[in-house]
Amino acid sequence: MKDLVEYLVKAVVDHPGLVRVDEKRAKEGWVYYVETHHQDKGRVIGRQGRVIEAIRTVVRSFSKGRVNVEVR
């Protein structure tokens, strides 16, 4: 899953070399924290959060458990 999140985020940003994804186990399931260049945060979030919601939808459809993606 971590590779999928990283692949999707790198496809959106201008500085793909600076994308970092950390995964942590939470009570609800896995949480993937995405860190990018400060100029790319807006691209990852998108207008009204549409891009990050699309990324979350794709990741959740491929996962077997509960998964969340957060932008730092």
Cα–Cα distance measured from residue 23 to residue 42, given in angstroms and rounded to the nearest whole number:
21
Query: What pLDDT score does 60 carry?
Result: 93
Query: What pLDDT score does 29 carry?
Result: 92
**pLDDT < 50: residue spans in the chain:** none
Query: What pLDDT score does 41 carry?
Result: 95
Residue with tokens 């994308």: 19
| CA angle (46 as vertex; 18, 26 as ends), nearest 5 | 70
Report the domain count for the chain: 1
CATH, residue 18: 3.30.300.20
Query: What pLDDT score does 65 carry?
Result: 82
Q: pTM for the whole thing?
A: 0.91
**Bridge partners, 33 (sequence order):** 22, 70
Range of the domain at 7: 2-71
